[in-house]
Each structure stands twice: as structure tokens, then as C-alpha cells.
């Protein structure tokens, strides 16, 4: 999981300086709307909605936007779209496997945008199943530094069923089986530990280590994919070493 930790750190830093805040808000609001439609408008009985709202608040999405998204999703307010979850597979330059998750009300538009972003940036679409074998689905909880020591935090999450906790420098990443994520998140809440996000993600099993040139090409491609309105998440089977990240920061 070391490769993923570096990848998560890179994504976190990128998100912190991302100027495309409007697109981020739109993606987070869409997640809330879909969660409310799927599991109901009450966050206490809908863990997916609870976590979608938590993530939106941590990213400074206004409460009015959140409340309207819940109402649209639950049918209490008109204007909600029928979003379809779509997953595409692809390859970045250098053979890095990609999983691209979308929420869209127009499948033809979504696949066209994904294919265009890939081909314009040296990537290509892949057949279904040709990439997913190198990923596994895990619950991932991000926790910023807090009053608890690392040992105290480790004890809390392991007792609740977590698999692993990784120090990312600016916080911790806790990995669980998807079915255990809510229990671990609840244990953190009961211990008064604030968490930034709790999501089910696709994590690479055997990532490809990239040099600076490969990392630049990958990040350029991911930027293009994430700029697509229908794309929610992009997962890459890549490991960018710390030395390469430092080199890119200097550039």
C-alpha cells in the first residue's frame, strides 16, 4: 500500500491547490444527490449520504447547496437528474492502468468525453476487465492530525476492524474492507476524532513506478479526465516516488 499512500498524498496536495473549485463543488453535490436518491434523505440511516455530506462540508461546499442536493435526490424538490453510474477502463502512457468512474445523465456524452481525454493525452480505452484485476475495492478514511497520538488512533481503528493505518505526514489514511468502513468511521466519531472523508475507492495492487516524465504525462491525462463534467473519480495503478514528486515540485 506504500505506493498508494504516495499517490494519495499527491492527490491531496493537488486538491488543496486546485483552482477548479466550481467543478469540485459540482462533483460533490452530484454525489449527495445520488446518495439521497439511492438511500433516502436521512443521513443517520444512509451512511453513503452521511459521508458525501461530510466530504462536501470539508471542501467548503455551502450548506444551501448541500440541502438542495438532498432535496432533489430524495424527490422533495424538483430538478433532480437521473444519473447513471458508469465505469470505464483505460491505459495512460507507459501502460499505467486506469479506472474512470462517472455519474452521468447521458452515457454517450460520458464515453465520448472520456475517450477524447484519453486519446488527446497519449492514453487509450481498454476492454472491460482488462484493468480491474489489478485493483481491489477498499474503504479509505482520511484523518487530519488531532489530539490523539498515532498509537491511540491506531488502537481505535484496529479494534473497529481497520486493516491498516498509514502516516501521510499531514494526517493519516485508514484502510478497511468496504463492509467495515462505517464501523471504523463510527468508532472515530465516538472517540471525538474528526475525519476528512470516508470513501470506497479502487486501490492498485501492483502499481507501476514512474519517473518524472511518466509522472508528468500521467498527471496531465488525469487533469484532462477530471475536467470532464461526468467524471467523478480516476484511479491509477501508479507509484510516484518521493524523489520524483520533489523534482516535479521544483519544475
| Domain boundaries, given as residue ranges, for the chain | 8-74, 84-133+206-250, 135-204
pLDDT at 1: 39
CA 10, 16, 21, 24 torsion-angle sign: positive
Could you give the CA distance from residue 245 to residue 251 in angstroms, rounded to a whole number? 10
Point out the residues of the chain with pLDDT beneath 70: 1-20, 80
The highest-level CATH class for domain 84-133+206-250 is alpha beta
Yes or no: say if 95 and 134 are a contact pair by the CB < 8 Å rule.
no
Residue 193, all three cell numbers: 476524532
CA of 239: how far to CAs of 19, 138, 150, in Å? 25, 18, 25
pLDDT at 7: 56
Could you give the CA distance from residue 40 to residue 226 in angstroms, rounded to a whole number? 28
pLDDT at 8: 56
Domain over 8-74 is classified CATH 3.10.450.750: no
The highest-level CATH class for domain 135-204 is alpha beta
Count of residues for the chain?
Answer: 251
Q: Is 166 helix (H, G, I), strand (E, B) or coil?
A: strand
pLDDT at 20: 66
Domains 84-133+206-250 and 135-204 share a fold: yes
Cβ burial, residue 210 (10 Å; 0-12/13-18/19+): buried
pLDDT at 186: 94
| The model's pTM | 0.86
pLDDT at 2: 43
Could you give the CA distance from residue 224 to residue 46 in angstroms, rounded to a whole number? 32
Yes or no: say if 16 and 251 are a contact pair by the CB < 8 Å rule.
no
Element (H, E) at 236: strand 231-236
pLDDT at 170: 81
pLDDT at 13: 55
Amino acid at each position: 500500500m506504500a505506493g498508494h499512500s504516495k499517490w494519495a498524498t499527491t492527490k491531496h496536495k493537488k486538491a488543496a491547490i486546485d483552482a477548479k473549485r466550481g467543478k469540485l463543488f459540482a462533483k460533490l453535490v452530484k454525489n449527495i444527490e445520488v446518495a439521497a436518491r439511492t438511500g433516502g434523505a436521512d443521513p443517520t440511516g444512509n451512511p453513503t449520504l452521511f459521508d458525501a455530506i461530510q466530504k462536501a462540508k470539508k471542501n467548503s461546499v455551502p450548506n444551501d447547496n448541500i440541502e438542495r442536493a438532498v432535496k432533489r435526490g430524495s424527490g422533495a424538490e424538483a430538478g433532480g437528474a437521473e444519473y447513471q453510474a458508469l465505469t470505464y477502463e483505460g491505459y495512460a502512457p507507459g501502460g499505467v492502468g486506469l479506472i474512470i468512474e462517472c455519474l452521468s445523465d447521458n452515457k454517450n456524452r460520458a464515453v465520448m468525453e472520456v475517450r477524447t481525454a484519453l486519446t488527446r493525452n497519449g492514453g487509450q480505452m481498454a476492454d472491460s476487465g482488462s484493468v480491474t484485476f489489478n485493483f481491489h475495492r477498499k474503504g479509505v478514511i482520511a484523518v487530519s492530525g488531532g489530539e490523539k497520538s498515532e498509537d491511540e488512533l491506531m488502537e481505535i481503528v484496529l479494534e473497529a476492524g481497520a486493516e491498516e493505518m498509514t502516516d501521510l505526514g499531514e494526517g493519516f489514511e485508514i484502510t478497511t474492507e468496504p463492509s467495515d468502513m462505517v464501523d471504523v468511521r463510527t468508532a472515530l466519531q465516538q472517540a471525538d476524532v474528526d475525519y476528512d472523508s470516508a470513501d470506497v475507492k479502487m486501490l492498485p495492487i501492483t502499481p507501476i513506478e514512474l519517473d518524472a516524465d511518466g509522472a508528468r504525462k500521467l498527471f496531465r491525462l488525469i487533469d484532462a479526465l477530471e475536467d470532464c463534467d461526468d467524471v467523478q473519480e480516476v484511479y491509477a495503478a501508479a507509484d510516484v516516488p518521493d524523489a520524483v514528486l520533489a523534482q516535479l515540485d521544483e519544475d
